[in-house]
Amino acid sequence: MGDIYGPIARRGLPLAYGEAASRDPAVARMLKSALHLADHMGEAPVLLIPCAPANRIRVEGSVYPAIQNLMLAARALGLGTTLTSLHREDEAAVKDVLGIPDDVQTFALIPLGYPLGRWGEAARRPIEETTHWDGWGRRLELPGN
């Protein structure tokens, strides 16, 4: 899987994020992390690939909530995950390696394992900055603000 994912990511990520990374340190950190993942995807102890029958209407409405639940449960157990779908750029090769039938669609590639290095609570922006109330751009006035 690393041999499939790595070249796709190394080719596509700099094209998608390189310019923004040159201007924004947060994007630069994300790109560096994503390229590190590209170089080490094949070393992950577990790779999860959620699948469902192809050509089903709105099946992703079930798949992605299940992925989120899996990722939250993993984090609660001290395991690290990340979701990527770049493998779908060569989904046929992925299916060939894993013996996934043609009538099955893959949705994500999720490495799972104990994280290396610093691992803490994810940074979150305050709810007042991210939530709109009764229309776009309308902010909730919280007591004390």
pLDDT, tens digit, 9 for 90 and up, residues 98-116? 999 999 999 999 999 998 8
Whole-number CA gyration radius for the chain: 18
Contact in structure between 28 and 69 (CB atoms under 8 Å): no
CA angle at residue 110 from 60 to 38, to 5 degrees?
125
Q: What is the assigned CATH class of domain 2-116?
A: alpha beta
> Domain segments of the chain: what residues?
2-116
Q: Average pLDDT in the 89-94 region? A: 95
pLDDT, tens digit, 9 for 90 and up, residues 123-135? 788 888 888 888 9
CA 21/CA 29 separation, integer angstroms: 8
